[in-house]
Amino acid sequence: MSRAEKLTDQILERLKGSNVKVKREDILKRMKLLVEEFKVPESEAVRTIMNYLVREYGVSREELFERESPLIKISEITKPNQWVSLKAKVVQLWDSNSPNVSQVGLIGDETGIIKFVIWAKAEMPEVEEGKSYLFKNVVTDSFQGRMQVNVTRTSRIVEVDEDIPLPPREIEVIGALIAIQQNSGLIKRCPMCHRVLVKGVCQQHGKVEGYDDLRIKAVLDDGENVYEVILNEDNIRELTGIGLDEAIRIAQENLDRNAVLSELKSQLLGRYFRVKGIRGGRYLLVKEISLHRPEVEDFEEILEALS
């Protein structure tokens, strides 16, 4: 879909629910002329055509220009199918295994953290971890009982020159590491977009010469909740003594990259960890992680309980 078609559909989306009938071809023809022939900036082209609709079709100016999805906070998202706008920071990008998904991860503001999905069809510019954006006209959704927001073709993403704060409260969790997910251990990333390669293929850039990295996607269980955590190379080296160089050596020695994952699993699975981080729903953004050894008081408590 061309930019002109996309912008045309964005304008038509604004007319949904009103009883004005506007021909798509009519708008598209003008949009192509403005954007492709005359190289008018997109926002200017959209404004020009909206003015045309007000003039020629009698569309109410208010309906076109002002009926936007309300700007809300993440904590206010409670039900699916609401069109909203959010100002949020990209706190974590995940790997997507689906060609339909352009980017997936977590965004946060001072009230909470939520999963977001940018559909490939939306044809959005890519967002970056740590940067803040205005996510305009995104739609809430519920997936496996958890809320998320979807960025679609009629959404807009605008980088903002602000550092949106995350929820202030840090929590500490002590829990058992009960699972390590696929695509953990010694992985390869795409040199362009840093996504994890699956069988040497980047979902965005196809077959590429990847670079090595170390990471673990794991599930932590504290007896009350389960948390999804991602550990980077630094976390892994601190916990196991295995950094990237050591991991590469293990892979070469065994002629098998999976040997690294086996080694990490044998060192980490079932052990207890103390994690400091920010909680957003099911996710725990790791700031510090260390092996948890029971304190002397714990043993005293156990002895007391037994006596």
Half-sphere exposure of 124 (CA within 13 A, CB side): 29
- The 8-class DSSP code of residue 100 comes to T
Closest CB to Zn ion among 112 and 210?
210
Q: How far is the CB of 181 from Zn ion (least distance, A)?
A: 21
Nearer to Zn ion, 202 or 250 (CB): 202
139 belongs to the binding site for Zn ion (CB under 5 A): no
Among 204, 237, 244, 292, binds Zn ion (CB under 5 A): 204
**DSSP class of residue 118?**
E
10 binding Zn ion? (CB under 5 A): no
CB of 228 closer than 8 Å to CB of 285: no
Inter-axis angle of helices 258-268 and 244-254, to 10 degrees? 120
Cβ 206 to Zn ion, closest distance in Å? 8
Q: Please give the helix or strand (H or E) that residue 152 lies within, else none.
A: none
Q: Which stretch binds Zn ion (CB under 5 A): 24-32, 199-207, 284-292, 296-304?
A: 199-207
Site of tokens 């002629």:
255
* 163 C-beta neighbours (distance < 10 Å), count: 10
Q: How far apart are the first and last CA of the chain?
A: 73
Q: Which two tokens stand for residue 32?
A: 């192509």
Quote the tokens at residue 26: 């009519």
Q: What is the Cα–Cα distance from 41 to 35, expressed in whole angstroms? A: 7
Residue with tokens 């598209």: 28
CB atoms within 10 A of CB 17: 9
Q: Shortest approach of Zn ion to residue 191 CB, angstroms?
A: 8
Choose one: 66-74, 172-180, 183-191, 234-242; the region binding Zn ion (CB under 5 A).
183-191
The interface region with Zn ion, picked from 91-99, 140-148, 205-213, 280-288 by CB under 5 A, is 205-213
Residue 113: both structure tokens together: 């953290």
- What are 256's two structure tokens? 């098998």
- For the CB of residue 131, give the shortest distance to Zn ion in the complex, in Å: 18
190 binds Zn ion (CB under 5 A): yes
**Of the listed pieces 7-15, 49-57, 131-139, 201-209, which binds Zn ion according to CB under 5 A?**
201-209
Stretch of residues binding Zn ion (CB under 5 A), selected from 5-13, 59-67, 185-193, 268-276: 185-193
State how far the Cα of 117 lies from the Cα of 104, in Å rounded to an integer: 5
**Residue 282 DSSP class:** T
Residue nearest to Zn ion (CB): 190
Beta carbon of residue 193, minimum distance to Zn ion (angstroms, whole number): 4
CB of residue 186 vs Zn ion: minimum separation in angstroms?
18
The answer to whether 192 contacts Zn ion (rule: CB under 5 A) is yes
Q: Is 205 in the site for Zn ion (CB under 5 A)?
A: yes
202 binds Zn ion (CB under 5 A): yes
Q: Is 82 in the site for Zn ion (CB under 5 A)?
A: no
Q: How far is the CB of 204 from Zn ion (least distance, A)?
A: 4
Name the site residues for Zn ion (rule: CB under 5 A).
Answer: 190, 192-193, 202, 204-205
